[in-house]
Structure 1
């Protein structure tokens, strides 16, 4: 092996012995130990490998290519011979390749094609501490393959994380091997106070200070491409006096530009590499001994609530900060400038949240279905996929036709999985071919997979068709020095590769140049993001959420559009990319499986207080067409009317005085004999309205029409003939008092019915009258000649004996012309001033 000594060299023999004796092993090796390039070469000729291949997973394409080239050079070969690599759109392997460095998605494809990995002796998962979704999935699938098909398959997990206990336990108590840390010390310098103002300005200031104070090249970590470009602009406004080359490094650059960024600087030149997290692990940038860390990183977060992902700029974790710091000590002693204070450093989270906890799980759910797994719990995971996100992913896959109702993969879903695209885009490609739009769909799929070409500034137009036009101009540019040229070339190459995979011929002029079908194609990929205009710039998504275009632009008044990219902030998600579509497009897709459906809407309308009958053509929450419903179902109308009455309350019904009294009389009897009489309470009547009220409401649709309903007759229909007779006898409407008057009984309080009668009409009645089979005494309100209460009693006998004489004295003074006998029980009752003689 070529190259100088590295810390990992000291444990190579121990590692070989461990892998000889055990099926699995775990290696903890901090940054700079040399694990990525040393270990595959060291174990390549081990007897237990039996001449089979080594697969080593790297999280990033640049790291995979660089590691393969370094190992090939170490044994004096070109990459693609003994050591090769396999990444998206770039493969360098041959029949004699023994070590394949691959990206994680490639492993999934290989496992799906050959679950036993027959010609592979060991799978190495490098930089596992990053906990990418593909790494977790790859490990889960490898563990099942190992358990069911390949007992001799070995797994080696390599990570910079020192606590490997959980990983070792998952690998059936695999032995843990510890390697020493980086080869050279790194001095860490913090800011005295937190950054104020624009982060890019603070980064440039620290870069200039560090370049003046230190020797060597510099690696600057920034959260994303936009920040890299802004820092480049700041340096262009005030260049260095010495020969300094500013080299961006991110995944959107061409392979040549990435290679140039990590190669040594020319003689007499210093290099500043502006990079994202792409250079955080498994990568040595030649000549770097200074690191400037902004302390920020970009992460994707998925919201099960909205079904959308968003990119967030967040603080780095302690583990990421340590990885970045380690880049300064790969070849010699270095220094790391951190754009935060020591106090802020103590507040950093220890580790990045595993992607599986926060990511869109649609692709993972499709891979598991293709593997034959319906429930993720059937596999072994460090972190089980969250149930809410996984359930939502399966629901989307069913909507796209990728899964049967029982969770099994469909033939369409299997074809989607083979495309190695997000399932949304895979579905779009497969369906587009039958519409004669395959080439444009390939172009869109490649474009939507490349975020860096899509996102503009805050004022950029959201119309995706403009990006397609820009892509075509950039990919066909005569001069390759433009900023987006390399990205455009890569997108065009990806589109061509997809066309070849699907057997789609080169596009004709109509397909290639007519962009009006972009919205139709996006509707295939994003059926839950089809949007209908509400007011200028504001839309309703088919999923039911609101969405908005922040600034007035041509698409702000599009009747329909499809949002390819939007966030999940606030009540209305902000749309970043979209294309218009029209009702004709949606009708065309309805014939091909889009969930457009006719729906008869028979509902209660609070505003008109009537049943509304409409026939609607709906797409999720969107009403595409709306018109009157001919010949609506009477039962449905009845149930909607009852729903309205229930919502408004019983007072909505046309209660006459007689009907209200009848209801209270029945309720009085119900309280006495609940098993024998119907319950007339509000809640009981509302709960059973369809039974007692429903039969009398056919043909009625509104509260206004309810006025014709006779409530007394309806209530009486609830009673048998015998109950009606008993009701008149035991809960009478009136009582004939001694004077001969027929006085109404008030049942307002069914627990204590009231008889309000003038005192003089009760002369001669010794005992209180009763109702309810003689069990309930009436509450007697004895009134003055002016019909004002003078006494309330349920015991007339006591009143005549104890109270009458005091009351008589008062009444005689106020009503001297009236008859107030000394003995009320022997007096003649009268409804007049004095009794007739």
Structure 2
């Protein structure tokens, strides 16, 4: 291989570090060639060892693209010496010696074979992104190296990372490739206060066209990409506009990268897959929205959801650096220079639901997070919350061990909440519908209007060609070709209510769009939504706000859908209190579904104990003035209180 990339200069010391300690850390800036040059160099020089090299990528688009590029460098089709494996797509053969996989694939391999037989070296690429799967994978590989395979090589590669904690944890040498970059002029151009930032983004693209070769535009999601592309089209924009995101088929991703490499002027509208995971050639200008979609725990639906958030300073530097690889470049940032940003992004383990992590570790035999070695220990509250949900769902037993049902969920390769739905759907005669709902919940919303789940399922039936990728994912989850034994329009509500009882919500009295959820939070429908006024909803997605979250996806329910849930979860409680208006103790029997009061009736006769309980409640709220004491009694009380204050040690 020719010495064309900055990282080539450190391959020799990197190989020496791996041969001496079996473990190393490589820090190299984006575009230095670490994702493609290093694995091929190691394949050439490390390949004398028996076994394959396994390289982890945080995204499917990067795994496929990196493997395809490396295969082309060898003059071979992907799947020969270099292959890839993702949850939905695999190109490997008996000849494959370098396998690029998404991070979750390593977890499944380790759980199936704790010795990782046949693997000589594991490479973690883009580790600075600190995904949950990467942290879990590193903890598993560490334990495998210590318990079973001291010969297993480990290389952690990162674009920007404070390597101190990682270096201490792995006791590994750090090799740095400084890279070659040109100065990048950074310009701050925030949008006006009432202007849609995407319209402002279109204006900025138009303003830099004259001297640009490839304009790389960072946008948070596919909806934003479509919006900006439409704005450019309506403006009569002359340059070709290409989209790049994780939902594109491999062939279309390659077409975008090839078009940029060919030197033709164009605009690439990309999500943060282009931040570090992929190298786009020919970039002279970057326009950065400063936003990214990332998973965050949503308490209203009891699992993580993607939300749009401000990126960190480290991410902003990586993005702007894309414009300085060929020569001096320019980066336009669509926010104010005075805005304060976090220095680094929080690792996923500190901000997402931990249900998949807890389930995988239960399969590994670990019931407490302290039993493993972590770069960041999983938060105790998030861990305990995940354990409780998995126990409620039957995936874990009372001691935290994996049940047969939990093992079946883990085998599906989706987050546990969706696995529970898929298995329940098979049992209840709705396997196809349940798989489609799971696919809908694991991908981006296919409709931009309304929150009714039924409209999404109908769209899959009436426009299958338009939603082919989602239907293929649903087919994968089916594990065969079963048919629904009943009409989902009559049966889906009851199925969802049984699987997700905590996500039930009832309309608040006297309000058309505000709801009380079973476990406490209040949520609301968008104004004018077709489901307004519906008595019961099953909440499937919200905007993630902690108070009065806006509902984004829901299933309407009728009373019959709730029968089994009420039988299993509704309970009678006695409510004893003080009626301030009538100045008396009152008691009510209430049937509740969590925080939702279903029925309430007065208690006709209160016991003496209940009377005392209610009176104490009144004293707490209204004070001692409630007691029927005479003036003489109150004078005596005051004298005793005074003496107690003066001679406190002699008074009880």
Note whether the superposition's TM-score is higher than 0.5. yes
- Alignment partners' CA distance in 2, 1:142 and 1:63: 22
Aligned to 1:599: 572
Q: Does 1:338 align with 2:332?
A: yes
Match of 2:497 among 523, 531, 534: 523
Q: Hey, what does 1:98 align to over in structure 2?
A: 97
| Structure-1 residue corresponding to 2:529 | 553
Q: How far apart are residue 394 of structure 1 and its match?
A: 1.9
Q: In structure 2, what is the equivalent of residue 686 of structure 1?
A: none
2:226 corresponding residue in structure 1: 229
User: What per-residue deviation string (whole Å, max 9, x for no partner) do you get for residues 97-145 of structure 1?
Assistant: 1111011111111111112111111110001111111111111111112
Indicate conservation of the 8 Å contact 2:312/2:343, yes or no.
yes
Cross-structure match for 2:244: 249
CA contact (8 A) 1:463 1:579 kept: yes
Partner secondary structure for residue 108 of structure 1: helix
CA distance in 1 between counterparts of 2:188 and 2:368 reads 51
With over 3 angstroms needed to count, the CA separation of the structure-2 counterparts of 1:358 and 1:552, relative to structure 1, is same
Is residue 376 from structure 1 mapped to residue 374 from structure 2 by the alignment?
no
1:614 aligns with 2:608: no
- 1:373: how far off? 1.6
Whole-Å separation in 1 of the counterparts to 2:308 and 2:329: 25
Q: Is the 8 A contact 1:597 1:619 kept in 2?
A: yes
- Inter-partner Cα distance in structure 2 for 1:118 and 1:380: 22
Moved more, 255-264 or 55-64: 255-264
Partners in 2 of 1:258 and 1:625 — Cα distance?
Answer: 57
Match of 1:468 in 2: 457
Distance in 2 (CA, whole Å) between partners of 1:553 and 1:315 is: 29
| CA drift at 1:416 | 1.6
User: Residues 257 and 70 (structure 1 numbering): CA distance in 2 closer, same or farther, change over 3 Å?
Assistant: closer
Q: 2:472 is matched with which residue?
A: 493
Distance 1:357 1:625, change over 3 A: same
- TM-superposed CA distance for 1:251, in Å, is 1.8
Deviation string for 1:625-657 (max 9, x for gaps)?
455779x895774565555565566665666x6
Query: What is the 5 A alignment of 1:786-805?
Result: none
CA displacement 1:420-445 (0-9 Å, x = unmatched): 21211111112222221222111100
Cα separation, 2, equivalents of 1:53 and 1:106: 15
**TM-superposed deviation, 1:365:** 2.0
Q: Shift of the alpha carbon at 1:269?
A: 5.4
Flag the 1:377–1:399 CA change in 2: closer, same or farther, 3 A: same
Cα deviation, residue 374, structure 1: 1.8
Deviation string, structure 1 residues 584-617 (Cα, Å, up to 9, x no partner)? 22222456xxx5133242523526634424252x
Helix, strand or coil at the partner of 1:191: strand
- The CA RMSD measured in Å over matched residues stands at 3.1
Q: Call closer, same or farther: CA 1:521–1:323 in 2, change over 3 Å.
A: farther
Please say which structure displays the higher CA radius of gyration: 1
| Structure 2 counterpart of 1:202, from 195, 200, 203 | 200
Unaligned runs of 5+ in 1: 478-484, 669-680, 682-747, 753-837
Cα 1:263–1:206 shift into 2, 3 Å: same
Counterpart of 1:213 in 2: which secondary structure? coil
1:312-331 aligned within 5 A? 312-329=307-324
2:280 to 280, 285, 290: 285
Q: CA deviation at 1:181?
A: 0.8
Cα deviation for residue 150 of structure 1 reads: 1.5
CA contact (8 A) 2:67 2:100 kept: yes
Q: How many residues align?
A: 636
Tell me the CA shift for residue 212 of structure 1.
0.6
Distance in 2, Cα, partners of 1:635 & 1:370: 53
3-state SS of paired residue (1:55): strand
Q: Which runs of 5+ in 2 are unaligned?
A: 643-652
Structure 1 position 434 matched with structure 2 position 441: no
Does the Cα contact within 8 Å between 1:223 and 1:298 map onto a contact in 2?
A: yes
CA-CA distance at 1:249 after TM superposition: 1.2
Aligned residue runs from structure 1 range 340-379, under 5 A = 343-344=337-338, 347-379=340-372
Which residue matches 1:213?
211
User: In the TM superposition, what are the counterparts of 1:379-778 in structure 2 within 5 Å?
Assistant: 379-453=372-446, 456=448, 460-475=449-464, 477=465, 485=466, 488-500=467-479, 505-508=482-485, 510-511=486-487, 514-534=488-508, 535-569=511-545, 571-589=547-565, 595-604=568-577, 606=579, 609-614=584-589, 616=591, 618-626=592-600, 634=607, 637=610, 640-641=613-614, 643-644=616-617, 647=620, 652=626
Is 2:185 the counterpart of 1:189?
yes
Change (3 A) 1:611 1:268: closer
Q: Specify the SS of the correspondent of 1:433.
A: helix
Quote the Cα distance in structure 2 between the aligned partners of 1:538 and 1:340. Answer: 35
Q: 1:540 Cα shift?
A: 0.5
Larger relative contact order (C-alpha < 8 A, sep ≥ 6)?
2
SS in 2 for 1:151: coil
The Cα offsets for residues 297-347 of structure 1, whole Å up to 9 and x where unpaired, read as 2333336699565654443323212322333355x33523222589448x5
CA distance in 1, matches of 2:27, 2:262: 37
Following superposition of structure 1 onto structure 2, how do residues 250-265 of structure 1 map, counting pairs within 5 Å? 250-264=245-259
Contact 2:184–2:323 under 8 Å retained in 1? no
Contact 1:277–1:297 (CA<8 Å) still a contact in 2?
yes
- Structure 1 match to 2:649: none
Distance 1:598 1:199, change over 3 A: closer
Q: Is the 8 A contact 2:59 2:273 kept in 1?
A: yes
Work out the CA distance in 2 between the residues paired with 1:68 and 1:619: 52
Alpha carbons 1:295, 1:338 under 8 Å: kept: no
Query: Aligned in 2, Cα 1:495/1:82: closer, same or farther, shift over 3 Å?
Result: same
Say which of 174, 177, 194 aligns to 1:179.
177
Report the Cα offset of residue 159 of structure 1.
0.6
Q: Deviations over 1:28-47 (max 9, x none)?
A: 11111111112222222556
Q: Is the 8 A contact 1:304 1:389 kept in 2?
A: no
